[in-house]
Amino acid sequence: MATRRALLACAAALAAGSLVLGGTTAAHADSGVTGITVQEAHNDWTNNGKIVLSLTAPSAVKNVKVSLYSMETQQTVATVGNFELTSGTAENGTWKNRGRIQLPNLGSYRIDVSASDEGGDTLSAAGVGYFYYAVQTNMNDTKVDRTTVDYQHRTITISGHLMGQWPGSGAVTPLGGLTVAVNSYME
């Protein structure tokens, strides 16, 4: 019985793949590109209020829209459509939203993408990445009371201020009363 279900699932996946490829034009088939593809979708690691979205397409991408879906509430909480090409080409490039994303709550959100290109290809894909709407922390003013730590001198004192950049505004503020963990590596 389990084998029969597995075979039916494979047949369904094969049929679905055939339907997707069946819509490809002859020009696209000749070029080897078969529609718009999401290469990556995630936070901008240096700017926590922005999304990085990399797409490839047979012709220039003209419309990009991202919906952020809350896994907690099972609802779309924001739709972002103000993307600009920041690197690469319109056929193989990276887009970022122009302004900062404003969400009501911190948390993890699924990224759903819809896009179209000048050749008429369209994309509608759910769960292509995750957007972490979180406070980005740093301790840029950290000071250590000794320059060398070795086996005989393992106790050190670290001082500094834990700061956080808020994703909606970009404001950097002190974060008081939080525990900070320090991990040590061989170096």
Q: Which CATH number applies to 33-133: 2.60.40.1220, 3.30.300.90, 2.40.320.10, 3.40.50.620?
A: 2.60.40.1220
Where do the structural domains in the chain lie, given as residue ranges?
33-133, 135-187
Q: How much is the pLDDT for 151?
A: 86
Indicate if the pLDDT at residue 20 is higher than 60: no
Burial of 167 (0-12, 13-18, 19+ CB in 10 A): buried
Tell me what the mean pLDDT of segment 89-118 comes to: 96
Across the chain, mean pLDDT equals: 82
DSSP-assigned states of every residue in the chain: -HHHHHHHHHHHHHHHHHHHHHT--HHHHHHT--S-EEEEEEEETTEEEEEEEEEE-SS-EEEEEEEEEETTTTEEEEEE--EEEEEE-SSEEEEEESS----SS-EEEEEEEEEEETTS-EEEEEEEEEEEE-PEEE-TT-EES-S---SS-----EE---EEE-TTT--EEE--S----------
* Per-residue model confidence as pLDDT tens digits over 35-61: 999 999 999 988 889 999 999 999 999
Instruction: Using alpha carbons, select from 116, 102, 96 the residue that is nearest to residue 53.
Output: 96
